[in-house]
Amino acid sequence: MSTAIKVPAFSHPADSWHTIDWYVMHRQVRGLQARIAKATKEKRWRRVNALQRMLTHSFAAKALAVRRVTENRGKKTPGVDGELWSTPEAKWKAIGRLVRTGYRPKPLRRIYIPKANGKRRPLGIPTMLDRAMQALYLLALEPVSETTADRNSYGFRPMRSTADAIEQLFVNLSRGHSAQWVLEGDIKGCFDNISHDWLLANIPLDKQVLGKWLKAGFMESNRLYPTEAGTPQGGIISPVLANMALDGLEAVLESRFGKKNTKASYKTKVNYVRYADDFVITGISQELLESEVKPLVEAFMAERGLTLSQEKTVISHITDGFDFLGQNVRKYHGKMLIKPSKKSLRAHLQKIRHIVRGNLTAEQGNLIRQLNPVLRGWANYHRHVVAKETFGYVDYRVWKLLWRWCRRRHKNRYKRWVIGRYFHTVGGERWVFQSVDAEGRPVRLLQSKDIPIKRHIKIKAEANPYDRDFELYFEQRLVKRWKENKFVLDKVRRIWERQHHRCLVCNQLFQDKDDWDIHHLIRKTDGGGDNIGNLVMLHINCHMQLHHGKGDKSLAPV
C-alpha cells in the first residue's frame, strides 16, 4: 500500500521560529542566488550589487543564516561574549538582529588546534551574531565566487571534493605523452597574510561590512590584538574569501602557456589543480617550472600579499612521485598509480592503536562501535584510488591489535577458547570480530576490504550549482552517490527514495553534509510502529518544527 505525504504549507506570516515555512525560505533565497549568478556571468556588476543587497535584507536569507549557525557543529561553541542561541525564542530574536546599520563585530576568540607537523594552527571563533552575519553575506557572495572560480579549484566549494582534484591529476599526468615534472605549491600562512587592501578592492561584497570583519582583531589571554592582514580561520566566510583571492592563477597560466588541448599547451604541458591553498602545476621540464612557472606564481601571490613556502614548494619527477591530499601520485614503469600515502596510513593506524589501547577493559561491542566509524571513514576517503593492497594491510594490522587485546584480557585461557569467545565464522568468512548488543543483534567489526574500490567520476569543470542549466546534472550526481553507498541503511534508503530524495517539510534535496531524523507519522506512544510505512525522513530542524505544533498532524498516511 502506498503512502501519500502532505507537505505542510503556512499561508500566514511566521510569528515564531517554529512557524517559519522553510520551503518558502529556500525558494526565495535560491531564486535570488540564481539571479546573482546569472548577472555575474554576464558581468553586470551593478545588477549583482543590487541583488546582493536585496538578498541580505530579506527575511528568508536572515532566517537561513540563523538556522545554519544554530545547526552546525560549532553551535555550542560561544565567542568572546559567551552567547549561544539554543532556544527557539533566541533564534527568532536573532533574525531581527541581523541588520547592517549600527553593526559592529566583536573580536574573535583565539584558540589553537594541533597540526600534523606538531605545530599549532590558530583559529578565530566569532560570536554567534558575527557568525550569522557572515552566513548571511555568504549567501550573497557564494553565487559570485562559484561563477568566477578557477575551473580546477576544488577546496571549500559546494559539490566538489578531494576526489575530484585527485581525478583531475590523473587526467593531467596519466598518459604516455603527459607532463613528467610537477611543481607542488604551498602558500605560507595563506589565511593569515592575504592583503586586506586587495580583498576590499576586489571582492564584490559590501565594503563597509567586509572591512569591519577584517579589522575586528582577536582576543587572547584577555588582550586585544589588531589584525592588519589575513582572514580569520574559523569564520564561515573566510574560506570563500581565500578562494577568491587565489582564483585567477589558472587564467594567468593559460594566457602565458595556452589553454589545455591547444597547440601552445602541447609544447609546455602546463596544467593546474588547486585544493584550498595547496596546488599542483605540471610542466614538460624542470627548467620550465623553475624559471618560468614559479616566478609567474610568485608574482601572482605577491599582489595578494602572499608568498610560497620554500620548504613545502618543491619540483619533482613523476617517477619519484609526490603526496597530495593524503594520496601518493606516481608512475611505475610508465603506468600511473595513485595510492594512499604512507603518511596517511601511519596516522590512520596510530589512531586505531590509540582507540584499542584506550579501551583495554571495554566491552567488545563498545570497542567495535568506536572503531567502525574510523575504519569506514578512512576507507571511504581512499576508495577511489588503487587501495586494495593497502586495505588488506590495514585489516591485518587491526587483526593483530585486536588479537593482543583479546589475549591480554584472558591470559590464563587457551587460544582456542579466546578465538571462540571473540572471533566467529560468518557466511563462510573466518576470524570475524563480532559481538551482540543488548537486543541480541550482531555487532560486527568493519573490514577495510568490505569497502568496494570504485573510480570517482569527476565533476564537470564548468558546473555551477547556482546556474539553473546545471540543476539536473547535480541532482543526478547526488542520487547516484547515495545509491552507491551500501552503508546507508536499507530502510533509510527506501524511505528516502519514496520521498523523491527530499525533506517533506522544506522540500529541499538532502545533501551529503545534511543530518536527518526519522519521524514517526503515528507516534510510538499512540501505537505506531517502526515499519517503513510509518516513517519519513526529515531535516533535524524540520523535525523539531513538526513536534512544536505546526503541521504535526499533516504528515499522515492515507
Q: Is the pLDDT reported for residue 552 higher than 50?
A: no
Question: What three-state secondary structure class fits 287?
Answer: helix
**Who has greater pLDDT, 484 or 554?**
484
The 429-436 sheet, strands edge to edge: 423-426, 429-436, 442-444
Q: Is the pLDDT reported for residue 11 higher than 80?
A: no
pLDDT in tens, 34-47: 999 999 999 999 99
Question: Is 337:386 a contact under the CB 8 Å cutoff?
Answer: yes
The pLDDT, as a whole number, for residue 486 is: 59
Least confident of 296-300, 479-483, 501-505, 534-538: 479-483
Parallel, antiparallel or unpaired: strands 218-220 and 223-225: antiparallel
Q: Is the pLDDT reported for residue 550 higher than 70?
A: no
For the entire predicted model, the pTM comes to 0.85
Other CB atoms within a 10 A radius of the CB of residue 523 amount to 12
Summarize the confidence of residues 340-368 as an average pLDDT. Answer: 96
Least confident of 213-217, 316-320, 538-542, 551-555: 551-555
Summarize the confidence of residues 248-266 as an average pLDDT. Answer: 85
The pLDDT, as a whole number, for residue 2 is: 38
Q: Which H, E and C letters describe 538-558, residue by residue?
A: EEHHHHHHHCCCCCCCCCCCC
The pLDDT, as a whole number, for residue 488 is: 59
The pLDDT, as a whole number, for residue 457 is: 92
pLDDT band (50, 70, 90) for residue 332: very high
pLDDT in tens, 462-477: 999 999 888 878 877 8
Q: Which H, E and C letters describe 529-541, residue by residue?
A: CCCHHHEEEEEHH
Distance CA 153, CA 160 (A): 9
Q: Strand runs (DSSP E) across 259-341, as ranges?
A: 271-275, 278-283, 314-317, 322-324, 327-332, 335-340
Mean pLDDT (the chain) is: 89
Summarize the confidence of residues 531-552 as an average pLDDT. Answer: 77
Summarize the confidence of residues 96-115 as an average pLDDT. Answer: 90
Question: What three-state secondary structure class fits 60?
Answer: helix
Alpha-helix residue ranges (DSSP H) falling in 423-546: 471-484, 490-498, 540-546
pLDDT band (50, 70, 90) for residue 267: confident
